[in-house]
């Protein structure tokens, strides 16, 4: 890691990175995050008893939609033509937590890390929105890039406790 910031020019001004000279390649990123909630709220979601309907189904669609709009939400992010966007959930009943995992792919000149992170975040925020009447103390945490493949910088895999 070179430690430089690519979205700032030599004068400290914000800029969108010029990817015009790059060759397209297959890009993949996976991101995840967690939402913790009360045991009662978790049971409602897991059993499909939430008053607002299918929480995980709606959150899944929200996450996918967010990946497609990332360039509109993150100021210096390039708009991308995604070839895959998927959101999956892992229920952790013993912890009353739900993990949202978003996988995004494209054939392009820039990576899809921000799209994967945005998709996971939107899915978790949607769970919060749909469940806030039952539990306003929910906590969203551990939003992170788990892995990325493709592009000049190659592969990355998140390893807990590893120093980059």
How many Cβ atoms from other residues are within 10 Å of residue 148's Cβ? 22
Q: In what order do the strands lie in the sheet with 139-149?
A: 82-92, 97-108, 25-36, 139-149, 156-157
| DSSP at 5 | -
Measure the CA dihedral 61/65/66/69, to 10°.
180
Alpha helices (H) in 26-141, listed in sequence order? 39-46, 55-68, 70-73, 113-131
Catalytic-residue membership of 2: no
27, 116 contact by CB (below 8 A): no
Catalytic residue among 129, 135, 163, 164: 129
- Among residues 158, 30, 36, the alpha carbon closest in space to that of 92 is found at 36
Q: Which residues are catalytically annotated?
A: 129
């Amino acid at each position: 890691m070179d430690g430089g910031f690519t979205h700032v020019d030599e004068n400290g001004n914000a800029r969108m990175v010029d990817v015009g000279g790059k060759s397209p390649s297959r890009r993949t990123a996976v991101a995840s995050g967690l939402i913790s909630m009360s045991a009662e709220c978790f049971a409602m979601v897991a059993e499909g008893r939430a008053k607002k309907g299918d929480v995980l189904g709606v959150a899944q669609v929200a996450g996918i939609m967010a990946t497609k709009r990332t360039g509109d939400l993150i100021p210096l992010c390039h708009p991308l033509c995604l070839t895959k966007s998927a959101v999956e959930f892992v229920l952790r009943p013993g912890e009353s937590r739900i993990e949202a995992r978003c996988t995004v792919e494209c054939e392009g000149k820039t990576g899809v890390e921000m799209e994967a992170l945005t998709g996971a975040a939107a899915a978790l925020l949607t769970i919060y929105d749909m469940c806030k009447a039952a539990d306003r103390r929910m906590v969203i945490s551990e939003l992170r890039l788990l892995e990325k493949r493709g592009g000049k910088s190659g592969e990355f895999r998140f390893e807990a406790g590893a120093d980059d």
